[in-house]
């Protein structure tokens, strides 16, 4: 199976996107096809043994559209199409303005012939695409906005041409031969400038994905045989050695095999502090080298880097469809035939009821109905908001798997959090230390403890061995006779004295007495859920250490935002002890906490919440929480860089900052609200605009909508929907 995202050319409305999507889906070997009208691209999964991209392109061309399979990026394809449309807009208005002026003035000799000469090239050049696509669609038994524009302008133009060539036909019947060249010219001009403005606005909706793509360097400096050569990153292979100078971006994922420097990884991790890199350190594509020169061995090709995976994930999410879009899609499929039917009905009613000016009014009203009806606004309502919202999330280090996940997230009213690694750092560390030794003797004693614990395999040993050094502490300390006391601690010798470290039970066995300060310290730390490690010499208790998994500095603020700003109920689930879980819950202000829970218990807990009518988001690391994540309405994975569980979760927070969850919920609610606003106004626009164009205001107020103003209103509706979606960028 091959997966790709290909720019689609020549689309003008949502019906076009549906036509391309349905055509591609019908081809043999195509497993999945989704067209994003806002981003103008096709997300495709197909079997290369059954079909090819060239064959898919030929089938798309047969129905009037095209795919940019020649290596053009979305940006390049959009720029090419935008430039071509801009030239047509210029030509259209250069010719349309004099057509309009001449039509408004009376008494100009040969005015119909002058208008014919000006309008014909305008329609032939600027409006050519409307007629070509409408004809191809007609041959395939479908219709879209191009059909409506082609039909309305053709009626106005051909009727005017007949009146120009045969004015005597009407004169013999006592009627004046009116021409409507200005209607055809202004319809094409207004629609073109509306589409041009719409394309510019749509270009802004994909700014986020363009920003991600801009993080990828285009070239790399490859080292071969002692010589450096500049190559395209697409030509790099696993094992190539690359030179990355200060100020350059790392081309592909790999490992440092020479040099040392600091690298800015904020585009992946969100952390502003550069990371030290030396031989053996991993580096990621798109990160920025700051100081020294690095030699990097490529571990992945350009297409397989973490950044490339993120870009593909965002593109696929932007191309997915939210459930709320289904109604708009159904309406768009039947939109054009229904509008043509309404236009014919309008013409017939005017001919029956229009009196002496029946034909002129019938013609203008029928053309206005064809022009003002706009499937574009309906089609743009959802994809533009999704494209901006998902792109904005990616900029904030929030990866959203698909549109359905974004829509579900807005309904979440309960968040279940795993404790370890989500609210806490995920690794034990020394959080407190109470000495009975004078200050002068502490550095040497602490150095001895760290050196001995480095040889232990106990989970707390690494935390103690890497605890911060005391002022004046020697670089290393000598010890001998190391012995592990299973289930209790360790024992070692130094300077003829026996030292030990372990549980409070070991201190009791050695007959060590606790000072009042150490007893108070132990009670306080026990209430906080910390584990105690006693450190002594002979029968003397030198120090009591508190070891715990510390709460992340951002967790308290994250919980406050979820509860107060997003009005979400927060629960904590953990396999840890009740004391540790209770201490974390009290510190963070969480009322609902369940400790000592196994993976099956976490799933049951989520299931019970859902049975009570809750919409649940589960936040975990995607491994021991996998059952609960699968059960939850929305699954969220926490992580940094490559640790993120992209394939498991609906949402991935790429940094360890839980505050991103409240941002994601807030962004989801804003996005869905704007989608609903867009759909409301798109439906209302057509429900109001079509009757007015048909002449609903004429009986009461004598108002009749001219076709050129109908085309201007149609153009404005699409632009306004896109502009509303762009509010999400703020």
The residues carrying an active-site annotation are 418
Both ends of the chain: CA-CA distance in Å? 39
Q: What angle do CA 147, 30, 45 make, to 5 degrees?
A: 105
Token readout for 369 is 């109905």
Task: Tell me which residue has tokens 């009791």.
Answer: 508
CA distances from 329 to 7, 65, 332, 376, 716 (A): 21, 19, 5, 11, 21
**28 near 50, Cβ under 8 Å?**
yes
DSSP 298: E
The H or E element containing residue 289 is strand 288-289
Q: Which distant-in-sequence residues (6+ apart) come within 8 Å of 247 by Cβ?
A: 288, 289, 290
**666 near 341, Cβ under 8 Å?**
no
Q: What angle do CA 19, 73, 406 make, to 5 degrees?
A: 65
The rounded distance, in Å, linking the Cα atoms of 606 and 591 is 16
The rounded distance, in Å, linking the Cα atoms of 206 and 187 is 29
The closest alpha carbon to 196, from 722, 705, 730, 728, belongs to 722
The closest alpha carbon to 185, from 117, 132, 107, belongs to 117
Residue-by-residue DSSP string for 344-391: HHHHHHHHHH-GGGHHHHHHHHHHHHHHH--HHHHHHHHHHHHHHHHH
3-state secondary structure 185-217: HHHHHHHHHHHHHHHHHHHHHCHHHHHHHHCCC
Q: What angle do CA 355, 356, 357 make, to 5 degrees?
A: 95
**632 near 416, Cβ under 8 Å?**
yes
The rounded distance, in Å, linking the Cα atoms of 549 and 563 is 24
Residue 232, judged by CB atoms within 10 A of its CB (0-12, 13-18, 19+), counts as exposed
């Amino acid at each position: 199976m091959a997966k790709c995202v290909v720019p689609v050319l020549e689309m003008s409305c949502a019906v076009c996107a549906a036509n391309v999507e349905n055509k591609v889906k019908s081809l043999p070997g195509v497993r999945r096809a989704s067209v994003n009208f806002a981003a103008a691209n096709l997300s495709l999964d197909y079997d290369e043994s059954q079909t090819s991209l060239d064959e898919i392109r030929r089938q798309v061309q047969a129905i009037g559209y095209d795919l940019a399979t020649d290596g053009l990026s979305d940006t390049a394809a959009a720029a090419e199409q935008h430039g071509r449309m801009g030239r047509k807009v210029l030509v259209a208005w250069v010719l349309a303005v004099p057509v309009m002026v001449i039509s408004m003035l009376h008494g100009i000799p040969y005015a119909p012939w002058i208008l014919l000469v000006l309008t014909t090239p305008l329609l032939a050049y600027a409006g050519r695409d409307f007629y070509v696509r409408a004809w191809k669609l007609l041959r395939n038994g479908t219709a879209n906005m191009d059909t409506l524009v082609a039909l309305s302008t053709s009626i106005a133009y051909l009727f005017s041409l007949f009146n120009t060539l045969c004015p005597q036909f009407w004169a013999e019947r006592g009627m004046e031969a009116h021409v409507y060249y200005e209607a055809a010219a202004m319809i094409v001009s207004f629609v073109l400038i509306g589409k041009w403005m719409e394309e510019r606005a749509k270009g802004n909706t994909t700014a986020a994905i363009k920003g991600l793509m801009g993080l990828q360097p285009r070239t790399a400096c490859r080292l071969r045989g002692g010589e450096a050569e500049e190559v395209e990153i697409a030509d790099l292979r696993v094992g190539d050695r690359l030179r990355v100078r200060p100020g350059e971006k790392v081309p592909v994922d790999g490992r440092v095999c020479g040099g040392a420097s600091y690298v800015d990884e904020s585009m992946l991790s969100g952390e502003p502090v550069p990371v030290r890199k030396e031989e053996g350190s991993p580096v990621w594509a798109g990160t920025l080298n700051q100081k020294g020169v690095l030699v990097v061995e490529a571990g992945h090709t350009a297409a397989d880097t973490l950044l490339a995976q993120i870009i593909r994930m965002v593109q696929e999410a932007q191309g997915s469809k939210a459930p709320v879009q289904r109604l708009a899609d159904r309406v768009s499929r039947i939109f054009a035939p229904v509008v043509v039917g309404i236009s014919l009905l309008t013409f017939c009613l005017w001919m029956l009821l229009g009196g002496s000016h029946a034909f002129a009014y019938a013609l203008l009203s029928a053309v206005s109905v064809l022009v003002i009806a706009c499937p574009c606004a309906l089609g743009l309502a959802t994809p533009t908001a999704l494209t901006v919202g998902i792109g904005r999330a990616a900029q904030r280090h929030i990866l959203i798997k698909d549109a359905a996940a974004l829509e579900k997230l807005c309904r979440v009213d309960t968040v279940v959090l795993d404790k370890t690694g989500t609210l806490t750092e995920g690794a034990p560390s020394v959080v407190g230390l109470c000495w009975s030794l004078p200050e002068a003797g502490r550095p040497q004693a602490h150095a001895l403890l760290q050196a001995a614990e480095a040889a232990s395999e106990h989970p707390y040993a690494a935390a103690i061995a890497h605890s911060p050094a005391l002022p004046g502490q020697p670089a290393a300390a000598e010890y001998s006779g190391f012995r592990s006391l299973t289930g209790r601690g360790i024992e070692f010798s130094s300077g003829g004295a026996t030292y030990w470290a372990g549980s409070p039970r070991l201190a009791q066995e050695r007959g060590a007495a606790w000072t009042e300060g150490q007893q108070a310290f132990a009670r306080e730390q026990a209430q906080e859920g910390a584990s105690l490690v006693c450190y002594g010499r002979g029968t003397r208790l030198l120090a009591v250490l508190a070891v715990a998994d510390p709460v992340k500095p951002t967790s308290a603020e994250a919980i406050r935002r979820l509860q107060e700003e997003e009005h979400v109920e927060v629960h904590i689930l953990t396999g840890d002890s009740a004391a540790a879980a209770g201490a974390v819950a009290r510190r963070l202000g969480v009322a609902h906490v369940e400790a000592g829970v196994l993976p099956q218990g976490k799933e049951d807990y989520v299931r019970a919440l859902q049975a009570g009518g809750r919409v649940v988001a589960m936040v975990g690391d995607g491994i021991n929480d996998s059952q609960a994540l699968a059960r939850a309405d929305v699954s969220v994975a926490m992580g940094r860089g490559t640790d993120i569980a992209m394939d498991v979760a609906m949402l991935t927070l790429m940094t360890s900052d839980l505050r991103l969850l409240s941002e994601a919920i807030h962004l989801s609610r804003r996005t869905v609200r704007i989608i609903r606003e867009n759909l409301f106004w798109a439906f209302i626009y057509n429900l109001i605009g079509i009757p007015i164009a048909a002449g609903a205001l004429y009986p009461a107020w004598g108002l009749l909508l001219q076709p050129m103003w109908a085309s201007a209103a149609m153009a404005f509706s699409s632009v306004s929907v896109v502009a509303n979606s762009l509010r999400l960028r703020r």
